[in-house]
């Protein structure tokens, strides 16, 4: 992760508009345990492109990790509303085991709640 972070940081310096390098940098920071720095970097990337599912999904995980369930839900809803959920599976490979389980459990619980509410209606 430190080597990936250094490389991605250099790429961002060379081209500040390179979103992929910025996301790679945030992923490396996350892997190194620098969650706040990763969060700030993702927020910056989101301000440039507010409809990017890969950024929103990563931010959702960080919000869930911090215990901000409502914020995490809102971000996941945006990903679903955009319609590009294909980013979720590759991102799951990046997450640490405990965070992957947190995201899977949270999404599973929310899905069951939605289905139960629809059946009651």
Q: List the domain boundaries for the chain.
A: 1-84
Q: Which CATH number fits domain 1-84: 3.30.540.10, 1.20.120.1200, 1.25.40.10, 1.10.3720.10?
A: 1.25.40.10
Q: Is 106 exposed, middle or buried (0-12, 13-18, 19+ CB in 10 A)?
A: middle
Residue 44 and residue 17: Cα distance in Å, rounded? 11
87-109 tens-digit pLDDT:
888 888 888 899 888 888 888 88
Q: Is 73 exposed, middle or buried (0-12, 13-18, 19+ CB in 10 A)?
A: middle
The predicted pLDDT at position 88 comes to 83
The predicted pLDDT at position 65 comes to 87
The list of the chain residues with pLDDT below 50 reads none
The predicted pLDDT at position 63 comes to 92
The predicted pLDDT at position 36 comes to 93
The predicted pLDDT at position 30 comes to 92
Q: Determine if the pTM surpasses 0.75.
A: yes
Closest CA to 76 of 53, 44, 50, 101: 53
């Amino acid at each position: 992760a430190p080597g990936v972070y250094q490389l991605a940081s250099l790429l961002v310096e060379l081209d500040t508009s390179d979103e992929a390098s910025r996301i790679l940098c945030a992923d490396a920071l996350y892997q190194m345990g620098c969650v706040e720095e990763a969060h700030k970097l993702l927020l910056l990337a989101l301000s440039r492109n507010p409809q990017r599912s890969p950024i929103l999904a990563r931010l959702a995980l960080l919000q869930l990790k911090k215990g901000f369930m409502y914020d995490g839900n809102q971000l996941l809803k945006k990903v679903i509303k955009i319609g590009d959920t294909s980013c979720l599976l590759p991102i799951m490979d990046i997450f640490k085991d405990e965070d992957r389980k947190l995201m899977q459990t949270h999404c599973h619980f929310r899905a069951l709640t939605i289905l139960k509410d629809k059946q009651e209606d």
